[in-house]
Structure 1
């Protein structure tokens, strides 16, 4: 019997080496919590908080808790407290946090409490279960806060950043092929640039653009109808009225590339006009509505949304209404409702007048403006004339006038939104304004602990019923 020779390990076939790598990183997300009406929140009581809306980071829901009178009874309301709470189910969730009190003077001197820069010393914080919190009982001394640049127009702004720690095993493969990003957009863009195979010409204010019927029809139901089903389907050149060449070109680029060409937008946005309607983005929104380009409409909505301000919201709202931008319209209405209540007097005014003005607008669109201008409503309410002067100033603003001329029906819708903000909060929404929480005595269950509020409302409603169905404006003269 012959012996089998022993194999030398060096003669064995080489097995490809393998490797793996553990990667631990954070998934970061931020949320801004605006606390409007800080002075109304004082006196809620130690340990009682105002909660932000819930936001999601790393697969978990979070919320910011602001304690106007502090969380710690021993501090005797000397400090305000701020905490971040785990608002969804979770066990041993590890995370890093950062809380920033925003300096509203424009100097950039924000008050930052960050756990990110101390992670090497102590590691991430572990939240054991739902409701666990991280934060500061002594976030800021209240007396100093109320005289600082962090509080402006009775408003505080708190930025919160959460970094959820996640770990994964990265198993590298020796044999892998990298797949490049899709370049279909650039390819179609080149097709538009070199005009190869183009079979249609658009004449826009004397400037001609070559394109491809199939591409346009695939992207737009309007082009499909015009180029293949309409009376002009055999035409080789189509006139495009009521559109600027630069707008049509930008729209064509989007149709082919599925993205806006930034260089062209910058070159086209040199208008010195303060009107939102004169911007290239607004004109592209009109083009998207005209040719049923849903994605272009959404891109334009997103861009316009970023520039909403107190001065521009009325124009933007009219634009959204005209061109069926539902998302943008909803944001504008909410922005108007939240920002018109910038002071305590405005909050009271909008709470009372918002409801009744809707009723008046149903009978006569000019009646509300007449009543406010002449202080007729003062006869029905025991409130100061300053309240009415404040509302009248809003209604006399340029933006409100623009809205009246462009989309008069939206005035009533704005007022309904303002009046409905508090009703939405009291009907079960988790995110509630300071005013809603205080008018309910801070009771999140919806039980009012201040009956005098409802009695006042009842009396005011009765007073306004005398104006239920006016026959003419002249009926309500000054006295």
Structure 2
């Protein structure tokens, strides 16, 4: 069987699965622009125009432009009509239909019917607008002599009908013919963050460094196994509503609460303190068994290594078993020229005293680098 016959055979098999269609949604509107004194508009000059009042379609304002003597030198024998997007807007897709509006005629005075109208077909095509290209139309819409001999001009009156159809969006049509509604992203974190800020319904409070923070015990228990044990464990009375937290800065506890409710880190007002805050949060995350917060802090600290802070970050990584952060710190410190600068910082002395084994690993890394260096 040839490829063409195989394709034909496949096309003949009815499709039995589900389906959907990506289809455009349009908004349409019409406007009639009437020129009540046609003869007075003639002779204003090539490229000169009169403009209709603005009309709204698809969330945008449009106008019709009428050029009695043609839009360019090559169309001086024609009447030109254009449609223009009244205000700049990039990415607007629209279709247009411009037609002369036929006007009612009496008989020609001899008892016979009015002259037959000239034929002007509907003019329609899609057009993409930008901030600079905002006009569409026809320079040679109708020849002036044909217009003046037609029923479209009566009692020195002329009218043009403009229909604008604007693309609103592309959306998926489900098999039942109804639009497939796209669900918005979850905003649960915003609602929970507002709940924390409002203080409504709180049933437990924490005193941290002289400051008090109110919270909801059920939410804390859901986010931290340590909070769950403290607030609902067998050794805790359900009536306890006040807990004192030692060895933690209030700002760090507040940032941890923000993460508990919103699953995101707060915006630190001073970018210079972000590393210090992340260090405090990493310790808090490990203390309360919040694995996701610990990994978030670890990842951000890996990207925020500096000579002044890397020694304290390395000590923190060792104390809280953060293997990836520890490896990133060691690699940073072992870089050429960095170790000498790090050794001058206060954090290095803390690292030497609190984690002496780290110095051994660092020396081993340096020795390996030296051995691999070209002779």
Using the size of structure 2 for normalisation, the TM-score is 0.48
**Greater radius of gyration (CA):** 2
Using the size of structure 1 for normalisation, the TM-score is 0.38
**Which one has a larger percent helix, Structure 1 or Structure 2?**
1
